[in-house]
Amino acid sequence: MKKYSQIYSLLLILFLLTSCQQKRIEGEKIIINSETNGVITSDGPPWISRNIIQDRKGNIWIASFTGVFRYDGNSFTNITSKAIPFRFFSILEDKKGNFWLGTIGSGAYYYDGKSFQNFSTKEGLLNNEVTSIYEDKKDNIWFGVSGGASSYDGKSFRNYIIDGNEMNEDQTGKTFPNRRPYEVNSIIEDKKGNFWFATRGNTFVYDGKIFSVFAHNDKPFKNVRSIMEDKKGNIWLGGPDGLWRYDSKVYTNFTQNFVGHIIEDRKGNIWTNSQRNNSQVWALLRYDGNSLSNKKPTVTEIKSGGNGLFGILETRDGNIWFGSMKGVYRYDGKTTTDFKSKDD
């Protein structure tokens, strides 16, 4: 009887393992066929919404801690709720119209509109916490992760590891299964072909051969949350040291309040989310583009957002969308609309 009990226990364990593997195997490439079109609702994400983009069809996509939501102008669809129950932090539509979704702890997912494919440390991704995603001029997909960055050319990964105050390419195939310090918050390629990496540690500039620490008066820019290049080629940085602009010669500091995200709109205005003076309250701010030559430009507060505001997007119709701790908002130039459930 004891023998049969042991066999039964073994079979039960094997069944459970197999069942888990069918849902998701850590690190393996898995095609998850979406059997439904997701959950359709009139409400947006109810919780932390980190990143917002607009696709080529005009739909709004939101990476949130309750899934990836798509808004078609009438309703929201949580496209991941029935397939991938993870927290999403970042999102990108590539030049071919496919989507890359970054999670906290489950790597990245490639979505072609029909199915999802997982990329994690098993395939060579440096770490499974994907905090930013970027596509460069050569169509490589870059993933900012905990501990560094990974570049994917469609076949394999090249990894770049942050070690204290340095960042270098690793050719040993090393990956980090656990969370590492110095996650990469933002990646851009500037007009000259240099790559900029905003990390929890130093900010790095990479010319394709050497990583250099970006500094002002020998003081490195640390814990930068967002990097943006404007239409004139100026580099903007936001973080705990405030909002900075670098024109390749001159450094200009516009505020010393903590700045999270930065965008430039079609009129040349700069939008940020920032903490108010000596408080934990965040606000969406617009810096008038015509006054940016002054050290004290005209700044308009659009909305305060409690203790956290996140990604900012200007849509093709001129509206401004931004994320928060409790979902997303849309500003049409006059009024701000939230998409929270009436029950929230």
Asked whether residue 35 carries a pLDDT value surpassing 90, the answer given is no
- Please tell me the chain's helix, strand, coil percentages from 3-state DSSP, rounded to the nearest 5: 10, 45, 45
Number of folded domains that form the chain: 1
72-129 residue pLDDT tens: 999 999 999 877 889 999 999 999 999 999 999 999 999 999 889 999 999 999 999 9
The DSSP secondary-structure symbol of 240 reads T
177-206 residue pLDDT tens: 888 889 999 999 999 999 999 999 999 999
**Tokens, residue 115:** 């199915």
In 43-183, beta strands by DSSP E = 49-54, 60-64, 67-71, 76-78, 88-93, 99-103, 108-111, 115-119, 130-135, 141-145, 148-152, 157-163, 166-170
Domain assignment of residue 294, yes or no: yes
- CA contacts within 13 A on the Cβ side of 207: 5
Q: Percentage of the chain surpassing pLDDT 90?
A: 78
Residues 255-266 as b or e (16 or more Cβ within 10 Å = b): bebbbbbbbbee
Q: Locate tokens 């969308």: which residue?
A: 321
List of residues 6+ apart from 271 with CB closer than 8 A: 262, 263, 264, 265, 284, 285, 286, 287, 312, 314, 320
Exposed, middle or buried by CB within 10 Å (0-12, 13-18, 19+), for 124?
Answer: middle
Domain assignment of residue 18, yes or no: no
pLDDT band of residue 319 (cuts 50, 70, 90) is: very high
Domain assignment of residue 52, yes or no: yes
pLDDT of residue 342: 64
How far apart, in whole angstroms, are the C-alpha atoms of residue 100 and residue 318?
A: 25
**Tokens, residue 77:** 């669809």
**Tokens, residue 141:** 């997909």
Q: Domain with 98 in it: what CATH number? A: 2.130.10.10
Domain assignment of residue 10, yes or no: no
Domain assignment of residue 6, yes or no: no
Domain assignment of residue 196, yes or no: yes
Sign for the CA dihedral angle at 271, 138, 186, 60 comes to positive
The structure's pTM equals: 0.89
Domain assignment of residue 51, yes or no: yes
Query: Per-residue DSSP letters for 284-332?
Result: EEEE-GGGTTSSS--EEEEEE-TT-EEEEEE-TTS-EEEEETTEEEEE-
Domain assignment of residue 245, yes or no: yes
pLDDT of residue 42: 84
8 A C-beta contact, residue 281 and residue 245: no
Domain span holding position 114 = 30-338
C-alpha dihedral (125, 137, 197, 240), degrees to nearest 10: -120
The strand pair at 157-163 and 166-170 is best described as: antiparallel
pLDDT band of residue 5 (cuts 50, 70, 90) is: very low
